[in-house]
Amino acid sequence: MAPEPRTRIKICGLTRDEDVRAAVD
């Protein structure tokens, strides 16, 4: 039950690289 990397970053506010870009985009 783990959300997509984009959602996880949005919720946790992490900063990966491509994921962050996708989340921001």
pLDDT of residue 24: 60
pLDDT of residue 23: 60
> Please, are residues 8 and 21 in contact by the beta-carbon 8 Å criterion?
no
Query: How many C-beta atoms lie closer than 10 Å to residue 20's C-beta?
Result: 16
- List the domain range (segments joined by +) for residue 14: 1-25
- For the stretch 1-25, pLDDT in tens is 565 666 665 655 555 666 666 666 5
Q: Count structural domains, the chain.
A: 1
pLDDT of residue 20: 62
Gap between the Cα atoms of 3 and 18, Å rounded: 16
pLDDT of residue 5: 60
Gap between the Cα atoms of 1 and 25, Å rounded: 24
pLDDT of residue 18: 65
pLDDT of residue 16: 62
Biggest alpha carbon–alpha carbon distance for the chain = 24
